[in-house]
Amino acid sequence: MFKKILVANRGEIAVRILRACRELGIPTVAVFSEADRNALHVRYADEAYLLGPAPSRDSYLRADKIIEVARKCGADAIHPGYGFLAEREAFAAACIDAGITFIGPKPSAIAAMGDKMTARNTVTAAGVPVVPGTEGKGGMNDDDLLAFAPKIGFPLLIKASAGGGGKGMREVTSLEEMPALLASARREAESAFGDGNVYLEKLVEGARHIEIQILADQHGNAIYLGERDCSIQRRHQKLIEEAPSPFMDEELRSKMGAVAVKAAQAVEYVNAGTIEFLVDKERNFYFLEMNTRLQVEHPVTELVTGIDIVAEQIRIARGRQLSYKQEDVRLRGHAIECRVNAEDPYNGFMPSTGRVTLSIVPTGPGVRVDTSVYSGIEISPFYDPMIAKLIVWGETRGQAILRMRRALEEYRIVGVRTNIPFHQTMMDSHRFMGGQYDTRFVEERFSMPELDEERVTHHPEIAAAFATLVAHHEAQRSSEFVMRNERDTSNWKWVGRWERLHR
Ligand code: MV4
């Protein structure tokens, strides 16, 4: 096994990975920024090293420092988690050059899937269906694209080659408006990725976003672990994921699973990865992109397959065979994940920062909470607003929804606003309950109910009464008779008690 694993990440995913290492008996190293001195991942790891100031580029994105820490402390593997350095080809290559195992795919696979147009061309050659659009080489100029557009037909989408996450994407309904949209898409892509290349695809309307989790080892074995439905999202931020998809049947699952494995094999993929598809109402599916990393929503797959994806990642990186064959993978029950964000759903999902004065986490049958937030921690504005993932499992989708409602009710976070009320509203929505949603659902057909004024109005007299009660209780406690043994004659203790009594 590895001698020591360095986790190049923060937050809940760092803790998730550290837990897998702990179970496998592998010593761990955490890295952290100045804003994360009190973070749970720092406390959980066997060792922890400061990287630098709070901004990501000065800390969690410092590939050089992270590799230096790994070298100095004798870590022989690095797990990048998601985000930050997880999909940087250069970082994976630098790890290998330093003689450290990068727990993830080869740099060449990261590169091939990182450029969306290259990915599209590569998987097309392997027989994977993509949305009709501009085929072949990249770097088409505006004249070429304008000439090609009518062959695709409208409405269509302009997409950034270097893109992903909807950046540089434009919907085009007619040829007339296309030149201006091409210009603005290129500008946005250039400033976001330093690459203004774009391509075209026919717009697939009313589609669901369904992704397939795959695992591949270094010996040519590759399996799929079923799908996740991630259509509940807002502005390209996923909010709820579930497995299996309420839209799916066994026939479509095995078809998409086989295609996902083909897409992975087209880039000689090794380790855990996810292939994203659009699935239209007629159940046609199209490759969108591949994420060459562990994903936020991996727990729903873990709950329905019983497979520890992070433990498998470590095994694979170590050079072992997959622990499972395709026929060993059976789906049982239903899992739903709600991403708990420090955002105010009553105020345009505005980020909310500050100290979490109280965090009471739901537990009980079928409930899993992946979080790094505890009472007293400070939510800083430097990183992602996601503070927890609440994941439930049920024998049926109905039971999972009932459990999610119960768990959301138990969850108490005081000090910052969270989107828990959004999730509660969603769990009561008839469309969600019926599984009838697509990627536009949250933005176009969903709204929060009016806020119950009574519940949020400040009640200064009640607050004052509570403050008096707390002060009184503290005073009582300090005047309680405390047994002292003979030798306990600390003057500091005595003075402290005296001071408190006379406050
Ligand atoms: C599409 C599409 C419809 N038709 N491509 C959004 C981000 C990027 N990953 C691809 N995206 C889309 N590509 C065609 N040809 C609709 C989306 C899309 C979307 C996809 C997945 C999840 C949420 C989405 C929200 C809006 C648009």
The answer, yes or no, to whether any atom of ligand 1 lies below 6 A from the CB of 209, is yes
Q: Give residue 467's pLDDT.
A: 87
Q: Give residue 488's pLDDT.
A: 63
Q: Give residue 137's pLDDT.
A: 67
**48: β partners:** 30
Residue 78: how many CA atoms within 13 Å on its side-chain side?
31
Burial level of 489, CB count in 10 A (0-12/13-18/19+)? Answer: exposed
CA of 205 to the centre of ligand 1 (A): 9
Task: Give SS3 for 416.
Answer: coil
How many angstroms separate the first and last alpha carbons of the chain? 58
Residue 227 dihedral angles phi and psi, to the nearest 5°:
-115, 170
Closest CA to 287 of 363, 201, 218: 201
Closest CA to 146 of 161, 132, 156: 156
What CATH superfamily classification does 208-453 receive? ATP-grasp fold, B domain (3.30.470.20)
The total number of residues shown for the chain amounts to 503
CA of 166 to the centre of ligand 1 (A): 7
Closest CA to 152 of 199, 206, 208, 207: 199
pTM: 0.92
Q: Give residue 473's pLDDT.
A: 85
User: Do the two domains 5-103 and 208-453 of this chain adopt the same fold?
Assistant: no
Q: At what angle do helices 142-152 and 178-193 cross, to 10 degrees?
A: 120
Closest CA to 131 of 97, 109, 107, 156: 156
Cα separation of 305 and 298, whole Å? Answer: 11
Q: What angle do CA 257, 259, 262 make, to 5 degrees?
A: 115
Place of tokens 């434009």: 170
Task: Give SS3 for 292.
Answer: coil
Q: Which candidate in 293, 315, 339, 368 is catalytic?
A: 293
Residue 499's contacts (CB-CB under 8 Å, 6 or more residues apart) are none
H helices of 357-437, in order, are: 397-410, 420-428, 430-433
CB atoms within 10 A of CB 156: 26
The answer, yes or no, to whether any atom of ligand 1 lies below 6 A from the CB of 370, is no
The answer, yes or no, to whether any atom of ligand 1 lies below 6 A from the CB of 201, is yes
H helices of 104-196, in order, are: 107-114, 116-125, 142-152, 178-193
Q: DSSP per residue over 426-470, as a string?
A: HHH-HHHHTT---TTHHHHH--PPPP-HHHHS--HHHHHHHHHHH
CA of 34 to the centre of ligand 1 (A): 36
In this structure, whether the domain defined by 132-202 belongs to CATH 3.30.1490.20 is answered with yes
CA of 440 to the centre of ligand 1 (A): 10
Residues 441, 431: contact at Cβ < 8 Å?
yes
Ordered per-residue pLDDT tens for the chain, 503 residues: 999 999 999 999 999 999 999 999 999 999 999 999 999 999 999 999 999 999 999 999 999 999 999 999 999 999 999 999 999 999 999 999 999 999 999 999 999 999 999 999 999 999 999 999 998 767 799 999 999 999 999 999 999 999 877 889 999 999 999 999 999 999 999 999 999 999 999 999 999 999 999 999 999 999 999 999 999 999 999 999 999 999 999 999 999 999 999 999 999 999 999 999 999 999 999 999 999 999 999 999 999 999 999 999 999 999 999 999 999 999 999 999 999 999 999 999 999 999 999 999 999 999 999 999 999 999 999 999 999 999 999 999 999 999 999 999 999 999 999 999 999 999 999 999 999 999 999 999 999 998 877 666 677 888 889 889 988 888 777 766 656 666 666 778 777 777 777 76
Cα separation of 167 and 193, whole Å? Answer: 9
* 285-291 and 271-279 strand pairing: antiparallel
The answer, yes or no, to whether any atom of ligand 1 lies below 6 A from the CB of 288, is yes
Closest CA to 272 of 192, 351, 346, 211: 211
Q: Which token pair is 477?
A: 């406690």
Q: Give residue 84's pLDDT.
A: 98
CA of 441 to the centre of ligand 1 (A): 13
Place of tokens 């659902």: 441
Q: Give residue 489's pLDDT.
A: 66
Q: Give residue 289's pLDDT.
A: 96
440 is a catalytic site residue: no
The answer, yes or no, to whether any atom of ligand 1 lies below 6 A from the CB of 79, is no
The answer, yes or no, to whether any atom of ligand 1 lies below 6 A from the CB of 119, is no
Domain boundaries, the chain: 5-103, 132-202, 208-453
Residues 160, 193: contact at Cβ < 8 Å?
yes
Among 158, 169, 193, 210, name the best residue to mutate to test ligand 1's pocket (greatest count of ligand atoms within 8 A of Cβ): 169
Atom of ligand 1 lying closest to residue 289 CA:
9
Place of tokens 């008690």: 497
What's the CATH fold of domain 5-103?
A: Rossmann fold (3.40.50)
